[in-house]
A and B are shown apart, each in its own frame.
Chain A
Amino acid sequence: MTNHKQQNLIATTVKTTCSYCGVGCGIVAEVNRDTREVIVIGDDDHPANFGRLCSKGSSLGETLELSSRLLEPQVYGKQVGWSTALDIVANKFNQIIDQYGSDAIAFYGSGQLLTEDYYVANKLMKGFIGSANIDTNSRLCMSSSVAGHKRTFGSDTVPACYDDYEQAELIILVGSNTAWCHPVSFQRIKAAKESNPKLKVVVIDPRKTQTCDIADLHIPVKIGTDVVLFNGLLSYLYQEYALDQEFIQQHTQGFEETIMAAQNDALNVATVALKCQVAPHILETFYRWYKETKKTLSLYSQGVNQSSSGTDKVSAILHCHLATGRIGKPGCGPLSLTGQPNAMGGREVGGLAHQLAAHMDFNPEDIERVKRFWQSDNMADKPGLTATELFDAVADGKIKAIWIMATNPVVSMPNADKIKQALKKCEFVVVSDCVAHTDTLDLADIKLPAAPWSEKDGTVTNSERRISRQRALLPLAGDAKPDWWIITQVAKKMGFTKGFTYQSSVEIFREHARLSGFENNKKQRLRDFDIFQLANISEDDYHNLQPIQWPITAKKPKGTARLFAKGKFFTPTKKANFTPIKFKPPVNLPNEQWPLVLNTGRLRDQWHTMTRTALAPRLNQHKPEPFVEITSADALDYGLIHGELAQIASTWGKMLVRVVITETIPQGVIFVPMHWTAQFSSQGRMGALVNPVIDPISKQPESKHTPVNIKAYDAQWHGFIISRHPLVFDGIDYTVLVKGNGYFHYEVASSKKIRNWQYHLANQLSPYTDKLDWQTYQDERKSLFRSACFSAKELQAVLIISPHSHLPERGWIGSLFDPLRTGSLKDDERMALLTGKPPLGTPDVGKIICACFNVGEKIILSAIKNSKLTTPQAVGKCCKAGTNCGSCVPEIKELINSSITVTGN
C-alpha cells in the first residue's frame, strides 16, 4: 500500500471474501476500475476475521497483474475465439462419449471454484453426461474429514463454529500448523488465550511448528499415530469414569465395540507413549486436561486428513467428543479446518466423486430424487473415480478426455510425475485457469481463460459453514469468463440445452438452494445441508448477501451456529455412530533403502502451487526457496550441511532442495514445503516423491508420510541472478525463481560448468534491451565470477557465481530494481553492486521477517538491541513488525531470545 496509490484512487468500496484458506476472511476492497488498482483491508464486520487479514490476504491487491494471465482461449497452442474453443471441446467430449461411453470423460475441479461454478460442473457430469467422474483437489485436503463426518454423523457436518474459539477452555490443534495455514484463526485463538487465562492450547504435531508458540502443551506424536493417541484418550476417559453415559446411551450407537477396540489399541498411557513415541507425562497432562475441561474444541487439518488412516483419525477425534457429549454446545466440538476458500462449498454441491449433490448420496432414492429435480434422463448411478483413481484411469487410457478446472494436479498429486506422464498421453486435456502457465496448463490441448478472484462473482463457504459472497471487483479482463459460464456453454454445445440456461450466477445459486431443500424433511430424506430459505433470493439480496451459516431454515432464517446440540444426527436411527478403530501404521514404512520419512506441508506466505502468491513480491521473501528441514543428527549421518543442497529421492521421484537444519522435527523425519512447481523451480516439486497411497475409505492420499533417502548434492558451482527481465535456463540442475519487486531472482546451482555466462545473459536480455555494458568481477583461481549489466546506465541484471554456497545477500541488490526508484545507480552503489552489500551509509535491512510491513531481520535486531526490547509488542511499537497479521511474531520472539542469549554470553 503506497500513498501514491491511495491518492490516485477513485474509491469504489466492495466487500468480498479472501481467495485463500478455509478461514474465509471478509475483505474490504478499495477499487479503481480504471487503473485496476485494488487495495484490500480486513472487513471489521465479517464474523470470520473481524478485520484481521494474514500476510497472504493483505497482499491480494499485488496479485492482480495482467501480464501473467491467460486472456484468450487457446486450442493446440493457437489463440481462438470462444465459440471455436467451445465447439471443439463439446464435439470432442461427445465424440469420446459416443465411442467409449461417458465414463471415458472426467472433470477434476478445485476448492478455488465458486459454489455456482461447482454446481454446474457437478450437474453436467453427474446429471447429463451420466458419469460421476468428477473429483476435486478437495480429495487431497478434506475427504478424510468428509468420510469421518459421514461415518460418524451420517452427514458431512462440521458441528462447531469460530465463536467457540472464544468460549472454549481447551483447544486442541491436531495436525494443523494453524499459525501459518490459518493465520487469522490462529490470531483469534491467541487473542482468546490472552483474554481468557483459563484457556489452554494443546498442539499435536510431529513438528514443533510456529503454532506451538501459543501451546501450553506440545505433543510431538510419531507421524501417523494419531489414532493411538485418541484411542488412548477414549480409554483413559472411560477408565476415569469421565464419559457422558447418558449422551452415549441416548444419542449414539456402537460404543461397546468401539471402547473395546480402543482399549485393545491403547489400554493405558504407557502403551500410547510407546506407540506414539511421546513421554508419558505429556500424555497424562493432555488426557487429564481433556477429562477436566468440558469446553473442549478439537481443530484438525491436513496432519489428520492426509493419511492412509485419515478417516479413522477423524473418527477417533469425533469419538472423544461424542463420548463426552461435547458437541453442539458453545465452546466445544470438533472443527475441521478446511484448506481452501470453498472446499466446503464444493462438498455442498457434491463436487466429490462419491457424493451426488446437496449432501445426497449414490443410493437409489437420492439418485431418483436428484434426477427428478434436474429433469435428467441420464443420471450417473454409481460413484465415480476419486482423484488418484481418476488419474490412474487417465494413465491407463480408460479416461480419454479430462477437464481440469482451477487446479494444478501435476504439482499437488502424489506421484506427480506419473500425473504428468498421464496427461501427456491423454487424448484430450482441457484446462481452465486464470494464469497463462502452470505445470498442468502447459500440458493442455485446450486452454480456457477463467475469471480469477477479483473478477468472478458468486459464493464460497468457509470451515464453519459460513456462506460469504466473493464479489467481482474488476471487469473481466481480455476474453476471460466465469467458470460457470464456460461450463454451461460446453453443456449447451454438447446438446444439453435445457438444464443450463442460466444467465447469471444468482440463477444457479437459487437452483442450488432449491435443491438443498428439495424433499429435505423427516418424511422423505432429512439432510443437514439446507439453504432452501434462499431459493427465491432476489438479485439485489444475493448481491448484498451477508455472511451466513447453514443450515438456513424456516426456524433459523439467520443461519445456524452449531449443530447436534440436541443429539439428533443424520443417520437412519438419528444416533451417531461409534466405529471400532484399530491403529494402522502408514502403508509404506521406512526401510534400509528408504530410511527417512518425508513429511510435507505449507508455508506462511505461499498458497498451494504459488500461481497467485508468487506474484506478490513481499510474499516471496519469507522462504524464497524450496527446502528440506532435517535434524542436526540426521544431517550429520547423511553428510548434509545447512544452506547447501540435497537430493531427496523416493521410489516415485526426486527433488533437489536447500538444506535447513532444525530441531523442530523428530529425528528420522524430514519436512519439505508443498508449494514449488516447475514454473518456479527445476526440481522443487514435492508431489513427485509422495507415495500414491490412499485412505481406503476417504481415498485421500497419504501425503505426510513417504519413505525417502537423502544425500548431499555435489554442486560444482552455486549462484544467483537478479534480472529485470525473465530468463530461461536449460541444463542447470537447480534453478528457483523468486519474483521480486521489479525483478526476477533466480537461485542456481549445477554440476556442469557454464562457459560463457555473459553470452547467455546477453542473448536472453536482447529482446528487452539495447547494447549492454558489463561490469565483471573474476577470480578464476577461486572460480568466483560476478557480473552486472547495464543498458544506458539502467541496471539490467546481476549474476553471482561461486564454488560454494556462501553468496552475497540478495536483498539490497533486489531493492535496486524497485520500480519506484528513480534514476540510475549512484557511483558508489554501482561499485558496491557485486558485493551485495550497500555502500557505507546505505541501510541493509536483512532478511524480511514481517512480510506485511516489509521489516527485515536487521531492523528488528537493531531495534531489540538499541531500545532493549523484550516483547514482540514492544518490537511492533518500535518498527511495526508483527502488528498486522502477527504471523511473524514467533520469529520476532526467536530474535528477542537470540539477542538475549548473545548478550548474556
Chain B
Amino acid sequence: MKQKLVIIGNGMAGMKSVEELLSSSPEKFDITVFGAEPYGNYNRILLSPVLCGEKSIKDIMINDRQWYEDNNIILHAGPDKAVISIDRIRKVVVSKDGTQAHYDRLLISTGSKPFILPIPGNDLQGVIAFRDVYDVNTMLDYSKQKTHAVVLGGGLLGLEAANGLAKRGMQVTVVHSNAILLNRQLDSTAGYLLQQALERRGVRFKMPAKTLSLVDDGKGHVKAVLFADDSELPCDLFVMAIGIRPNIALAQSAGIHCEKGIVVSDTLQTYDPSIYAVGECIQHRGDTFGLVAPLFEQAKVCANHLCGHGVAQYKTLPSATKLKVTGINLFSLGEFNGDEHCEIILFSDPSAGVYKKLVIKNKHIIGLVLFGDTKDGAWYQSLLEQRTNIEDMRELLIFGQAYFQPNLATEV
C-alpha cells in the first residue's frame, strides 16, 4: 500500500516538490494538497506582469485543477481549506472546514506573509500588500477609479507594484527608507540608474523617508500618508511591500521547532522526522528565503529524501535577483558590495544606461551587479557557483562570455 503524503500550501515550493516526486517516484505516495487560495497552482513571481497587463492570470497558471486530477492528487483549495491544525501524534491535518487528511509524510510549504508596518492606520481600507492574485485584483480595481497610489518599499516587489500601477495610469510614489533603491541587491550607482529609469516611466520617489501614519478619510478609507519630515502625500491606495515573514503560525502551534522560520536540516526535515518543510516558511542554517531559485533547489532535495533516495543535501547558493520590469534589466548576485579584501571590476556607461560590477576575491567572482546589460548574468553566476579561477580571463571578463568562445578571435 502506498504511503500518504500531505502538503500544506499550494504554492510554488510545495508544488515543485510534488513535481519532482512525480517525476522520480510517481508510485510512491498518495498525495493530498491543501491550499488557501481558490486556484490551482500559479507562478507568484509573474504577478507583476499581470499587474502591468503583460500577462493574464491564465498565463501564469502552472498547474490547473485538471493536472491534479490527472496525477491523482487530491486538492483542497480555497479559504475554507486552510489547514488549522496538525495532530502529530495521529499524523492528521485538519482544515478550517474540518477536512481531515492522514499522512505518513507531511510537507509544510505555507510560504510567507507580507510584513505590515506597525503604524496607525495600517488597517484602513485601501491598505494592502502585494502577495497574491487577490491583491493584484484589488490594485487593478483601484487603478480604474482612483488616482494616487503610494507604494511603501523600494525593493523588488515594491518597484514592480509601482511600475504596474503607473502603467495602469495611477500617480505612483515609492516611499523607501533607504537612500538607495533595491539596497539589498544594488550598489548606489546601479540604484541611481534604476531610479532614473523608473522615473522615466513616471514613478516618483520619496526617499529616504520614514512613514509615520496613514490618514483616515473619515469613512475608514486611507486618504493620505504622513511622514516624519512633516510632509504628506495624498493616497487612495497604499501598498506595503517592505518584506515578508515566514508563515510559521501553524507549525508553531503544532509544536514544531521554529525560530524565524521552521527550522530544517540539510535534507529539509523539521525536528519532527515525519515532517518536511520547504519554501519561504523555513529557516535553514539561519537563512530565510524570498527568491525562487533556492526554493526550487529545496524542492528537489526534499523530493529526493521523500522518495527515500536520501542522497541530496541542500546548500544555499547566492541567488540572482532580477527585476521584472519590462525594459529594465538588472541582475544582482552574491556580495555585490564587497569588502576591503575584494577587488572590483567596473564598467559603466551611464548615458547608455549600462553599469556592470564584478566583485572578485581570491581570483573568484563572489558577487556582481549588472544593470542595463544583463545577458551575461547567467554566465557569471556559473563562474561564481563553480568557483572558476578567473585570473586568465580577467581583462575581458566584464565584456562577457562572447569574448571567451573559442572560435571568435580570428574568424572573419
Q: Mark A760-780, 1 if CB is under 8 A from B, else 0.
A: 000000000000011111111
List B251-302 residues whose CB lies under 8 Å from chain A.
none
Docked complex Cα distance between A870 and B88 (Å): 84
B408/A840 in contact, CB under 8 A: yes
Q: Mark B378-412, 1 if CB is under 8 A from A, else 0.
A: 00000000000000001110110011000011111
B399/A835 in contact, CB under 8 A: yes
B412/A862 in contact, CB under 8 A: yes
Question: Which residue from chain B places its CB closest to the CB of A839 in the assembled complex?
Answer: B402
Q: Known interface pairs A776-B347, A835-B403. Does A843 touch B395 (Cβ–Cβ under 8 Å)?
A: no
Q: Known interface pairs A776-B348, A781-B343, A839-B402. Does A831 touch B354 (Cβ–Cβ under 8 Å)?
A: yes
A777/B346 in contact, CB under 8 A: yes
Q: Does A782 contact B (CB under 8 A)?
A: yes
Docked complex Cα distance between A834 and B348 (Å): 11
List A833-860 residues whose CB lies under 8 Å from chain B.
834-835, 837, 839-840, 843-845, 858-859
B351/A790 in contact, CB under 8 A: yes
A782/B394 in contact, CB under 8 A: yes
Residues of B within 8 A of A858 (CB): 410, 412
B412/A832 in contact, CB under 8 A: no
Q: Does B373 contact A (CB under 8 A)?
A: yes
Q: Does B344 contact A (CB under 8 A)?
A: yes
B395/A784 in contact, CB under 8 A: yes
Docked complex Cα distance between A282 and B399 (Å): 55
Docked complex Cα distance between A825 and B410 (Å): 22
Question: Which residue from chain B places its CB closest to the CB of A772 in the assembled complex?
Answer: B351
Q: Does B345 contact A (CB under 8 A)?
A: yes
Minimum C-beta distance from B187 to chain A (A): 14
Q: Mark B349-379, 1 if CB is under 8 A from A, else 0.
A: 1111010000010000000000001000000
Minimum C-beta distance from B399 to chain A (A): 5
Minimum C-beta distance from B1 to chain A (A): 59
Q: Does A830 contact B (CB under 8 A)?
A: yes
Q: Mark A790-803, 1 if CB is under 8 A from B, else 0.
A: 10000000000000
Question: Which residue from chain A places its CB closest to the CB of B402 in the assembled complex?
Answer: A840
Question: Which residue from chain B places its CB closest to the CB of A862 in the assembled complex?
Answer: B412
Minimum C-beta distance from B350 to chain A (A): 7
Docked complex Cα distance between A780 and B345 (Å): 7
Residues of B within 8 A of A830 (CB): 349, 352
B interface, size bucket: 20 to 34
Residues of B within 8 A of A832 (CB): 399
A844/B352 in contact, CB under 8 A: no
Q: Mark A813-841, 1 if CB is under 8 A from B, else 0.
A: 00000000000000100111011010110
Question: Which residue from chain A places its CB closest to the CB of B342 in the assembled complex?
Answer: A781
Docked complex Cα distance between A405 and B350 (Å): 53
Q: Known interface pairs A776-B346, A777-B347. Does A834 touch B399 (Cβ–Cβ under 8 Å)?
A: yes
Docked complex Cα distance between A839 and B401 (Å): 12
B399/A779 in contact, CB under 8 A: no
A831/B373 in contact, CB under 8 A: yes
Docked complex Cα distance between A832 and B354 (Å): 12
A859/B352 in contact, CB under 8 A: no
Question: Which residue from chain B places its CB closest to the CB of A777 in the assembled complex?
Answer: B347
Query: Which secondary structure dominates where chain B touches chain A?
Result: mixed
Docked complex Cα distance between A784 and B398 (Å): 12
Residues of A within 8 A of B360 (CB): 781
Docked complex Cα distance between A779 and B351 (Å): 21
Residues of B within 8 A of A773 (CB): 349-352
Q: Mark B178-220, 1 if CB is under 8 A from A, else 0.
A: 0000000000000000000000000000000000000000000
Residues of A within 8 A of B395 (CB): 779, 782, 784
Docked complex Cα distance between A858 and B399 (Å): 23
Q: Known interface pairs A831-B373, A840-B408, A845-B412. Does A778 touch B345 (Cβ–Cβ under 8 Å)?
A: yes
Residues of A within 8 A of B402 (CB): 839-840
B412/A778 in contact, CB under 8 A: no
Specify which of A774, A779, A831 is in contact with B345 (CB 8 Å cutoff): A779
Residues of A within 8 A of B348 (CB): 774-776
A780/B412 in contact, CB under 8 A: no
Minimum C-beta distance from B410 to chain A (A): 6
Question: Which residue from chain B places its CB closest to the CB of A784 in the assembled complex?
Answer: B395
Minimum C-beta distance from A383 to chain B (A): 61
Q: Mark A9-51, 1 if CB is under 8 A from B, else 0.
A: 0000000000000000000000000000000000000000000
Residues of B within 8 A of A845 (CB): 412
Minimum C-beta distance from A783 to chain B (A): 11
Residues of A within 8 A of B412 (CB): 843-845, 858-859, 862
Docked complex Cα distance between A781 and B360 (Å): 10
Residues of B within 8 A of A840 (CB): 402, 408
Residues of B within 8 A of A843 (CB): 412
Residues of A within 8 A of B398 (CB): 777, 779
Residues of B within 8 A of A782 (CB): 343, 394-395
Q: Mark A75-99, 1 if CB is under 8 A from B, else 0.
A: 0000000000000000000000000
Minimum C-beta distance from A432 to chain B (A): 48
Docked complex Cα distance between A773 and B395 (Å): 23
B346/A779 in contact, CB under 8 A: yes
Docked complex Cα distance between A511 and B61 (Å): 102
Residues of B within 8 A of A775 (CB): 347-349, 352, 354
Question: Which residue from chain A places its CB closest to the CB of B372 in the assembled complex?
Answer: A831
Question: Which residue from chain A places its CB closest to the CB of B397 in the assembled complex?
Answer: A779
Residues of A within 8 A of B354 (CB): 775, 831
Specify which of B350, B373, B394, B410 is in contact with A779 (CB 8 Å cutoff): B394
B373/A780 in contact, CB under 8 A: no
Listed residue (A830, A835, A839) with the most chain B CB atoms within 10 angstroms of its CB: A835
Docked complex Cα distance between A610 and B23 (Å): 75
List A340-387 residues whose CB lies under 8 Å from chain B.
none
Minimum C-beta distance from A831 to chain B (A): 6
Question: Which residue from chain B places its CB closest to the CB of A806 in the assembled complex?
Answer: B395
Minimum C-beta distance from B375 to chain A (A): 10
Docked complex Cα distance between A790 and B351 (Å): 9
Listed residue (B360, B394, B399) with the most chain A CB atoms within 10 angstroms of its CB: B399
Q: Known interface pairs A776-B347, A778-B345, A780-B343. Does A827 touch B352 (Cβ–Cβ under 8 Å)?
A: yes
Question: Would you list 10 pairs from A and B whose C-beta atoms are within 8 A, ordered by A residue?
Answer: A774-B348, A779-B345, A781-B343, A782-B395, A830-B352, A831-B349, A831-B373, A835-B399, A835-B403, A859-B412
Question: 8 tightest A-B contacts by CB?
Answer: A773-B351, A775-B349, A781-B343, A779-B345, A778-B346, A862-B412, A777-B347, A835-B399
The interface of chain B, by Cβ under 8 A from chain A, is: 343-352, 354, 360, 373, 394-396, 398-399, 402-403, 408-412
The interface of chain A, by Cβ under 8 A from chain B, is: 773-782, 784, 790, 827, 830-832, 834-835, 837, 839-840, 843-845, 858-859, 861-862
Given contacts A775-B348, A837-B408, A845-B412, 17 further A-B contacts (CB under 8 A): A773-B351, A773-B352, A775-B347, A775-B349, A775-B352, A775-B354, A777-B347, A778-B345, A779-B346, A779-B394, A780-B344, A781-B360, A830-B352, A831-B349, A839-B402, A843-B412, A861-B410
